[in-house]
């Protein structure tokens, strides 16, 4: 089983974090997630995350510290999701593959319908925040 590495951004601004709602054409439609995507061959996780955020949100991201990882099996695939903090970015957020964006406190994020794989990442982020 070949693992697939996926990166997720916990984008921070003024004590809030960004959640993006998956559009109706995608798997897990309507759920709120940390934006990101697959790591391509030859990319580091931070490089992949910066590329994905440019593609998905139209921003230039300053990828910060690693937060946590979560693995799960989806059919015959092993997905490894890696979360990174993004404490700064440049540009105007433009959702190209999400139907909505929302800034929330880390505590309030737990009240949103998140994919199961994002829940441990949010918990690890909150634990790091104290």
pLDDT (tens digit, 9 = 90+) per residue, 20-46? 998 876 666 689 999 999 999 999 999
pLDDT at 22: 87
Per DSSP, the residues of the chain read --EEEEEEEEEEETTEEEEEEEPTTSTTTT-EE--EEEPPTT--HHHHHHHHHHHHH--EEE---EEEEEEEEETTEEEEEEEEEE-EEES----SSEEEEEEE-HHHHTTS---TTHHHHHHHHHHHH-
pLDDT at 73: 86
Q: Specify the pLDDT at position 24.
A: 74
Cα–Cα distance, 60 to 42 (Å, whole number):
20
Q: Walk along the chain (130 residues) and give the pLDDT tens digit of each residue.
A: 789 999 999 999 999 999 999 887 666 668 999 999 999 999 999 999 999 999 999 999 999 999 999 998 878 889 999 999 999 999 999 988 889 999 999 999 999 999 999 999 999 999 998 7
Predicted confidence at residue 1, as pLDDT, reads: 73
What domains are there in the chain, each with its CATH number?
Answer: 4-129 (3.90.79.10)
pLDDT at residue 40, rounded to an integer: 96
């Amino acid at each position: 089983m070949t693992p697939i590495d996926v990166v997720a951004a916990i984008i921070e601004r003024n004590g809030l974090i960004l959640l993006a709602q998956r559009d109706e054409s995608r798997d897990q439609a309507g759920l709120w997630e940390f934006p990101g995507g697959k790591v391509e061959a030859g990319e580091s996780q931070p490089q992949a995350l910066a590329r994905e955020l440019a593609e998905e949100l139209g921003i230039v991201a300053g990828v910060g510290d690693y937060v946590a990882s979560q693995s799960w099996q989806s059919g015959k695939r092993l997905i490894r999701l890696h979360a990174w903090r993004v404490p700064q970015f440049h540009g105007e957020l433009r959702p190209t593959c999400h139907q909505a964006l929302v800034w929330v406190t880390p505590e309030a994020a737990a009240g949103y319908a998140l994919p199961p794989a994002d829940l441990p990442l949010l918990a690890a982020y909150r634990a790091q925040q104290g």
